Amino acid sequence: MTVQDRVRAAYAQLALGERPEAWITLRPAEAVFAEAEAVAGRLAAGETLPLAGKLVAVKDNIDVAGLPTTAGCPSYAYTPVVSAAAVQRLVDAGAIVLGKTNLDQFATGLVGTRSPYGAVRDVRDPARVSGGSSSGSAVAVALGIVDLALGTDTAGSGRVPAAFQQIVGIKPTYGVVPTSGVVPAARSLDCVTVFARTLAEGREAVAIMSEPFPADAPLAAPPQPVIAVPDRDELLHMSEEWLDAFERAAKTLESAGARLRPIKLAPFLAAAKLLYEGGFVAERYAAVGAFIDSLPDDVDPTVGAIIGKARDIPAHVLVADTERLQKLRDEAMAEWGDADALLLPTAPFHPTIAEVTADPIGVNARVGTYTNFCNLFGLAAVAVPAGIGVQVITRGFADAVAADIAALLVGPEPAVPYSAGLPLLVLG
Amino acid sequence: MTVQDRVRAAYAQLALGERPEAWITLRPAEAVFAEAEAVAGRLAAGETLPLAGKLVAVKDNIDVAGLPTTAGCPSYAYTPVVSAAAVQRLVDAGAIVLGKTNLDQFATGLVGTRSPYGAVRDVRDPARVSGGSSSGSAVAVALGIVDLALGTDTAGSGRVPAAFQQIVGIKPTYGVVPTSGVVPAARSLDCVTVFARTLAEGREAVAIMSEPFPADAPLAAPPQPVIAVPDRDELLHMSEEWLDAFERAAKTLESAGARLRPIKLAPFLAAAKLLYEGGFVAERYAAVGAFIDSLPDDVDPTVGAIIGKARDIPAHVLVADTERLQKLRDEAMAEWGDADALLLPTAPFHPTIAEVTADPIGVNARVGTYTNFCNLFGLAAVAVPAGIGVQVITRGFADAVAADIAALLVGPEPAVPYSAGLPLLVLG
């Protein structure tokens, strides 16, 4: 398939009008076709463009030069002249940006409903949420409109929608992918993430966006990795069916050669609660609080309530929470011990839009049970579909280990549906 | 001189009754003599004890097993059963603790007057302050009662009193000397420091207390170090005489082979102001705020006002200041460039006790002009007498570079007055 054909296929898919709320801005078709011609020309001239023929959707809190960045709030919008470093690296490798996607406003949410551009609906069951905050990006990939999409992940925003949309979501270690050109949610925790239908495509995109890893970062999982897996009674908020599915995912790893061992989740879950119930929310106020105070009526009421409340958190609470977090991390890492990875559900359940509307903060908090602690502890995670969505979590900079173990869960992947980057396929 | 003779000399000096306010707790003489006998016995048995015959005073916010830790506040006192790691390492090397020294309460101050145990007076001019917060430790060394004293340094507490008492004060890079067993002032910034009459003695003590340095830490200054020296008009709050003295110190380095180059201090001084005028004071409230709130009448009024005010600082201000600090550090390090060290006055002037009483917060703030930024930027510093007190500041973990350049300022040092640790001297 040529680059131009890939773009045509995307527009054919878009024309079906599925989940239009996934998009905030679509680029003009002529500009996208012109760029496809240019990429095809570069390929013909012999350039190596590993992402040629890949279409990308970008979460609308990440800058793309010339397109407005709204962060899900129309009156916050600005139009950057420079793309975020992460976007630019994909474009340099031949990828083409199709547009900007909907999100929980200011990336504050795990549901996908907190947006004046519309609640993003699940691809399979429109009564359910897409997951968020990178709602539109996950849906655009799940629908096959794009090959790759960028999200961000502070509390779980790059993994929860991957779980609900049954696609791959890769959350690299904090700092590995630059966040320049990203509207901060909680600056000390924000990560740029990738959604893809296949793990291979996601890994390639992350590799292209990443800074060099530390020299001692592991390059692969060991042949018989040790995986920490919590017992059924350690897991909160899950139905019997979801618990069964989680156990089957663990057994899949065991069948593939992994050695499983139990782990207690208490320090992990205590840290997860700190993210929204303590001082760390002040980072969100520091990022956009002045804007929210100046135009309170322009803000989603749930998002405004969460960030507005953070105005009054005293600094000494943040200091104490930072110290508490360090202790919890020490406890958690003692539990972790010599495990190569931790297997967890990505989310404990998949709520309906009605459930979220009835209790917007409570349901959201429970959805984040297993994702919230990750960035606080500096860990890497790869979310994959395995019956339910599960995540393979590793220590910081062991991103390759997480992806290798995740590969055991997804098994052999289908051939990439669209590819123009490899000369063989261009010729074929 | 034997270990026992060293102890006798200390008690003879103590009996003169100079600056008794330097001490909060002196150990019972019998216990100290018994320990001297034990150290002498270990030496006679062939043990290598590099600090045998050295007496140490310990700032009373650092635990010594069996002695109360007051942090300068009688009702805060507790008696630890374990010594601080830094103290234990000195004792293991043969040093003997003589007692605990006065300080600005909760290590909050640079003057030495903020203590219910008395304002500590300068050794030469009793109308002037000793400097603080490690007031008693500096005075105990300056009087020759002890060979070494431990202080702490968050804003300059290990350097300012060294400057005023015309002794050496070494502030290692944050994290190099463990702070376990130290009452926190601002936990993310606190360093344990050493006072000594000679640089050689101070360096030896720091080396014994230190964790291993990173593998790429420089081990020595280059033969012709590049020293950044601010022009006269960059320096605030200094008299012509003090400016002249500072320039002479710079010339001394030049004569010893250093290459001087100018530097702008704006980002350094802006960061210094952040320490007490922004969100970072909240760390002090997190450390002892609950105690102060419970017993407000037991607290020094100035210290209580500073820490109490920090109760109401919002967390988002701390977040914003943390980000501002990072920008200021980038700017400062761009100014710093390829310099091996930065030469600065340790303090801009030496106030009288009356001046501090008249304006306790303002005078203290001006005293810290050149010390406050150091720990915020993760730098190392060695304060030495050179006409006025000056500091050689280096990047983090370049502690050896700072000490080597400081050695150019102090020149050849007198033979150590008391030493039993080296076999030759024991025999001699």
What pLDDT, in 10s, does the model give residues B253-312? 999 999 999 999 999 999 999 988 889 999 999 999 999 999 999 999 999 999 999 999
Min Cα–Cα distance to chain A from B281, Å: 9
> If 0-12 CB within 10 Å is exposed, 13-18 middle and 19+ buried, where does residue B293 land?
middle
Binary contact (B314, A319; C-beta < 8 A)? no
Provide the mean pLDDT of chain B: 95
pLDDT at B415 over 80: no
pLDDT at B427 over 70: no
B276 in contact with A at a CB cutoff of 8 Å?
A: no
B286 → closest Cβ in A282, A286, A319: A319
B314 in contact with A at a CB cutoff of 8 Å?
A: yes
A317 → closest Cβ in B279, B315, B319: B315
- In degrees, rounded to 5, the angle at the alpha carbon of residue B380 between the alpha carbons of residues B377 and B383 is 120
- What is d(CA B43, CA B51) in angstroms, rounded to the nearest whole number? 11
A10: closest CA among A98, A130, A90?
A98
- Tell me the per-residue pLDDT of A397-406, one tens digit each, with 9 for 90 and over: 999 999 999 9
- ipTM given for this complex: 0.84
B310 → closest Cβ in A311, A316, A320: A316
Provide the mean pLDDT of chain A: 95
Which one is catalytic: B115, B135, B157, B419?
A: B157
A424 in contact with B at a CB cutoff of 8 Å?
A: no
pLDDT at A82 over 60: yes
Least confident range from A410-419, B195-204, B315-324: namely A410-419
Contact assessment for residue A149 and residue A131, using Cβ atoms and an 8 Å cutoff: no
Q: What is the mean pLDDT of residues A27-56?
A: 97
Binary contact (A279, B311; C-beta < 8 A)? no
| Other CB atoms within 10 Å distance of the CB of residue A411 | 10
| Other CB atoms within 10 Å distance of the CB of residue A253 | 23
Task: Give me the helix-helix angle, A282-294 and B315-336, nearest 10°.
Answer: 100
DSSP assignment of B11-43? HHHHTT--SGGGEEEE--HHHHHHHHHHHHHHH
Confidence grade of residue A415 (pLDDT, cut at 50, 70, 90): confident
Tell me, what's the pLDDT at B421?
Answer: 54
Contact assessment for residue A133 and residue A103, using Cβ atoms and an 8 Å cutoff: yes
- Tell me the per-residue pLDDT of A362-412, one tens digit each, with 9 for 90 and over: 999 999 999 999 999 999 999 999 999 999 999 999 999 999 999 999 999
Min Cα–Cα distance to chain A from B374, Å: 20
A313 in contact with B at a CB cutoff of 8 Å?
A: yes
What is the DSSP secondary structure assignment for residue B299, as one 8-state letter? S
| Other CB atoms within 10 Å distance of the CB of residue A42 | 15
Q: State which residue of chain B sits closest to A284, comparing Cα positions.
A: B316
Instruction: From chain A, pick out residues whose CB is under 8 angstroms from the CB of B312.
Output: 314
Instruction: From chain A, pick out residues whose CB is under 8 angstroms from the CB of B289.
Output: 316
B175 in contact with A at a CB cutoff of 8 Å?
A: no
A216 in contact with B at a CB cutoff of 8 Å?
A: no
Instruction: From chain B, pick out residues whose CB is under 8 angstroms from the CB of A317.
Output: 315
Binary contact (B318, A313; C-beta < 8 A)? no
Which one is catalytic: B83, B130, B133, B419?
A: B133
pLDDT at A427 over 50: no
Q: State which residue of chain B sits closest to A286, comparing Cα positions.
A: B316
Contact assessment for residue B225 and residue B259, using Cβ atoms and an 8 Å cutoff: yes
Confidence grade of residue B423 (pLDDT, cut at 50, 70, 90): very low
- What is d(CA A407, CA A403) in angstroms, rounded to the nearest whole number? 6
Backbone φ and ψ for B212, nearest 5 degrees, come out as -60, 140
- What is d(CA B326, CA A158) in angstroms, rounded to the nearest whole number? 27
Instruction: From chain B, pick out residues whose CB is under 8 angstroms from the CB of A311.
Output: 314, 316
A316 in contact with B at a CB cutoff of 8 Å?
A: yes
Catalytic center residues of A:
59, 133, 157
- What is d(CA A357, CA A354) in angstroms, rounded to the nearest whole number? 5
Least confident range from A424-428, B59-63, B199-203: namely A424-428
- Tell me the per-residue pLDDT of B366-412, one tens digit each, with 9 for 90 and over: 999 999 999 999 999 999 999 999 999 999 999 999 999 999 999 99
- What is d(CA A380, CA A171) in angstroms, rounded to the nearest whole number? 6
B195: closest CA among B384, B348, B26?
B384
- Tell me the per-residue pLDDT of B43-94, one tens digit each, with 9 for 90 and over: 999 999 999 999 999 999 999 999 999 999 999 999 999 999 999 999 999 9
A314: closest CA among B224, B285, B314?
B314
Contact assessment for residue B136 and residue B103, using Cβ atoms and an 8 Å cutoff: yes
| Other CB atoms within 10 Å distance of the CB of residue A11 | 14
Q: Is B133 a known active-site residue?
A: yes
Instruction: From chain A, pick out residues whose CB is under 8 angstroms from the CB of B323.
Output: 187, 286
Confidence grade of residue B140 (pLDDT, cut at 50, 70, 90): very high
pLDDT at B418 over 90: no
| AA letter at B346 | T
The structure tokens 């900007």 sit at A100
Binary contact (A286, B312; C-beta < 8 A)? no
Tell me, what's the pLDDT at A198?
Answer: 97
Binary contact (A319, B283; C-beta < 8 A)? yes
What is the DSSP secondary structure assignment for residue B118, as one 8-state letter? -
Instruction: From chain A, pick out residues whose CB is under 8 angstroms from the CB of B317.
Output: 315
